[in-house]
Structure formats: structure tokens, C-alpha cells
Amino acid sequence: MRIANSLCLAALFASGCFVFDEDLYQSVPHVDGELAEVCGATAPLLFFPEGAQSHGFDVDTRGSVDNSREVSGCTGRTQRGPDLFLSIDARRGEHWHFHVDVDPFEGRQTANPAIYVLDDCDERACSDGDGLDRCEAGSDEHFTFIPPADDTYVVGFDSPEDTGFEGRVLAFRTVCGDGSQDHSENCDDGNTDDGDGCSASCFSELTGAAPAEVEVNDDVYSANLVVMGLGDAVSVRGGLDAICEVDVFAVDVPAGASLFASLGDGAGACPAGLEDATLELIEVGSAGPTPRVSAGGAGGTCASIDESDALARDLEAGTYFLRVTLLRERPDALTYRLNLSLSAGT
């Protein structure tokens, strides 16, 4: 889908015609008009000139209406609140990140933003990984989008609350390897080399038998890379302090290998609170991140992905991800060990 956007270049006054300096206007990031209340061709363009990497703007959906409820399902739940839309021209493989910040605004305790990205204003265009509504009221949302093709995409700002929300959107188009660590980059050391502590994908490289996680590692695009080979066992030291915080770890797996994982305290026990955490083995393909195996969350014992999980065995070569998620809010931080083993196929 292509969304037509035009820029008014001249204004007619009684004394004559005043012409905008188009080059100056197009040299800085900007949103080309007011956000649209309807998903479609009226969604204004978020313009990023060559070399620009970030732009911030305010969003207030409280005065809008819920015109496009049918396209909001990609967040995982119905968004019955009012919505607003903009569009982006994006190229395949670019790294876009949207941070909705509600903290500076009145009513932030009840503000509950959600974000989704569509290549067409149709509920069938909404697939897993195209939206995010992870956090509850009073918390920000962060969403990373990697375009599968050159296209114009619609970005929707919504809420599960009838009242909508007021917030500030920080939009980033980051470039791994430029030496500037931006939102959604776990590290950036100015190159795209592996083996120097920051991988070619801008993942912090965790080495040794018991490394500590490096924040922020909230999704598969800002993960920690656990460096391990066949026969290795690694126990990563991690921590979660909110229901909407997620920790993601990557492992490079050779063809035919099996990757097993479990949560615990490092001494063979399951500490209080960790029995509510889930553990997922995820692969990233053309359809985006897709869980292969999900474990835990039922309480009673810590999550484990082991030999009984056929989809964790005899894997194709590639990078796989382990995602740790808390299902219940906690008053304090929860520490854990993610125990990993990489072995020849079984």
C-alpha cells in the first residue's frame, strides 16, 4: 500500500504569494500535518531526512474516537480507546523504534498506550509482532519495527482504556555500528564486528560460565548474545523488576544442535515469584519473531525447555532467542539464573 502525502509549498496573501523554503523544511524531522483519526490515506507522514535518526512529538488521543478498532488486534487484545495514526516511508531491514512516554503528563497513572504498525488498514494485515501493549496503566511502551519490504506503513497509537491517553512519542531510526547507542540498541561500539564485546547486530556479547545480563534487552532486536559452543553450559545472571519488563537472550546455534534452557536460582531451586515467569524459545523469520516453545507461567515450578520439547532439538542453523517474562506485578526486583546448554542433536 502506498499512502499519498503532499506538502503545501505556497500560501497566497493579499500582497502576493509567499513561498516556503522547501529545502529548509525538509532538512529536519517533522510530522507532515495533524495525526489522522482514521487509518488510511489521510495519515500524515513522519518525515526523516537523510542522516536524521530521531524525532519527538506529542500525542493526545483523548479528543479522538475509536474509528479503527478492527485493525488493533495485533497488540494481543482489543483496543477500545480512541486512536490516532501517522505513516512512515520505510525501507526493508531498517530499524525503527517508537517510545511512548506518559511520565511528564497529567493523568499518567491511568494512561495506557498501545502501538501497532500496518502495511494496510485491514485486520488481516495485522500479524504477530506488529503491535505491542505489554505494560499496564502508568507505564511507557517501547516498540521496535523492522520493515519486511520497502513500503509506506501506518503507525497507530491506541489504548485499551475508553479515555485514551496523552503522551510524547519518541521515534528513532537507528543504525547499528555508527557509534551512537540509541533506543533499542543494546550496544553500539562504532563497528559491525563480532567478538569485541558488541556483536555485528549491536548485541552485548556475554562470555564465560556465569555472565550478567546487560540492559536494555527487551526484544529480539536489542538482545544479549550469549557466546557458547557445542557442549557448553552457561548460567546467565538476570533480573526483572516490572510486569512489562522482558529479558531476551540470543544464542547462535549450529545446524542439528539442540538448545535447552531453564530458570532457577543457580543452586537448583525455584525462588518465590519466579514460578510465575514464562520462558520462550523464539526464532525470527520473514513473519517476524515466532515462539517455537513456550514454558512456565502456571506456577508451582520454574519454567524449563528440555529434551521433551521436540522443537528445541535438531535445530536449523541460525540465531535463536530465549525470552523471560513476568506474568505478575512485583513490589521488588526478582533475580534469576537462565541456565543454557547447547548440545549435538538428539
pTM, rounded to two decimals: 0.83
**For residues 112 and 160, is the Cβ–Cβ distance under 8 A?**
yes
What is the pairing mode between strands 224-226 and 246-253?
Answer: parallel
CA 226, CA 207: separation in Å to the nearest integer?
Answer: 6
Are 234 and 209 in contact by the 8 Å Cβ rule? The answer is yes
DSSP 103-141: TTSTTTTT---EEEEESSSSGGG--TTSEE--S-TT--E
Residue in 262, 318, 314, 264 with CA at minimum distance from that of residue 290: 318
Distance of alpha carbon 170 from its chain centroid, rounded? 13
Identity of the residue numbered 58: D
Q: Provide the 10 A C-beta neighbour count for residue 239.
A: 14
Strand bridging mode 334-343 / 233-240: antiparallel
* Per-residue pLDDT tens listing for the chain (346 residues): 434 333 333 333 333 444 444 454 445 778 888 899 888 888 999 988 777 788 989 999 888 876 666 565 566 666 778 889 999 999 998 999 998 888 766 666 677 888 888 888 776 666 555 666 667 676 778 888 888 889 999 898 988 888 888 889 999 999 999 998 988 899 999 999 999 999 999 999 999 999 999 998 989 999 999 999 999 999 999 998 766 778 999 999 999 999 999 999 988 899 888 988 899 999 988 777 888 999 987 767 999 999 999 999 999 999 999 999 887 777 778 899 999 999 997 6
CA distance 20 to 42: 22
Distance of CA 267 to the CA centre of its chain: 32
Q: How far apart, in Å, are the Cα atoms of 215 and each of 44, 56, 183, 184, 239? A: 34, 23, 11, 10, 10
Compute the radius of gyration of the chain from its Cα atoms. Answer: 22
**Which domains are present in the chain?**
29-174 (2.60.120.380), 204-343 (2.60.120.380)
Cell of 33: 500535518
Q: What pLDDT does residue 45 have?
A: 93
Please name the helix (run of DSSP H) or strand (run of DSSP E) that holds residue 156, with its range, or none: strand 151-158
- Cell numbers that stand for 340 in this block: 543454557
Distance CA 197, CA 207 (A): 9
In whole angstroms, give the CA distance from residue 202 to residue 171. Answer: 19
